[in-house]
Each structure stands twice: as structure tokens, then as C-alpha cells.
Amino acid sequence: QQPVQSPQAVILREGEDAVINCSSSKALYSVHWYRQKHGEAPVFLMILLKGGEQKGHDKISASFNEKKQQSSLYLTASQLSYSGTYFCGTAHTGTASKLTFGTGTRLQVTL
């Protein structure tokens, strides 16, 4: 079953923060985050492998709560280039190489 992301869409002003959530109904092995711009392929952001792990680079970070089967992506001091659709991809024990992509969150950053 497809992971559910929230919110479905969000509009930010440049410099504002956002949180995107990804919730799975199945036990998670890992969570991958991607950003896709219109008409382009998804671009890898980061992968989280362990429960409770938190990762980040630049102003984008993520957490993974294995017990709650959830992951969150944190965007701080957003830039115009952050606009796009964000997808989480979840891998599950036993099918660790296969990803199931979430419902997506459309993010628009404006001036």
C-alpha cells in the first residue's frame, strides 16, 4: 500500500520553513526522499536507514521513526529552488531493494 504524505500541497514564502510527513502502514526498512520538478526525473535527496536516524545537508534534513513507521523531511529557510514535488520512497524488510513511492507533496516557494 502506498505511503501517505502530508500535506498534499504547501505554498511558502522564501525563507520560511516546511515539514513534509510520510506515513506507512507497513514496517519500514529504509526511507528515501526525492524531489521532482515538473517534467523531469526525481532527484535523490537522502536515505535514512535506521529507526530514529536523523540526517541532513545544507538546510534540508529528515528523521525516521521506525516504531511509528513514519519519516519527516524538514526544509528550513526555503529557497526558490526548493519548489517541486517531494516524494518519499519506502523500502520494507524482505523487499529491501524495491521502493514504494508516497502520494507526493507539492511545494511552491514564492518571493
Partner 1 sequence: GAVVSQHPSRVICKSGTSVKIECRSLDFQATTMFWYRQFPKQSLMLMATSNEGSKATYEQGVEKDKFLINHASLTLSTLTVTSAHPEDSSFYICSARDSGISNQPQHFGDGTRLSIL
Give the binding site for partner 1 (CB under 8 A).
Answer: 2, 30, 32, 34, 39-44, 47, 49, 87, 89, 97-104
Comparison of 16 and 36: residue with beta carbon closer to partner 1: 36
CA distance 77 to 81: 11
Q: How far is the CB of 108 from partner 1 (least distance, A)?
A: 14
Q: How far is the CB of 110 from partner 1 (least distance, A)?
A: 20
Check if the beta carbon of residue 15 is closer than 8 Å to that of residue 78: yes
CA of 49: how far to CAs of 44, 56, 65, 106, in Å? 15, 13, 10, 25
Comparison of 10 and 102: residue with beta carbon closer to partner 1: 102
Report the amino acid identity of residue 63.
S
Comparison of 9 and 77: residue with beta carbon closer to partner 1: 9
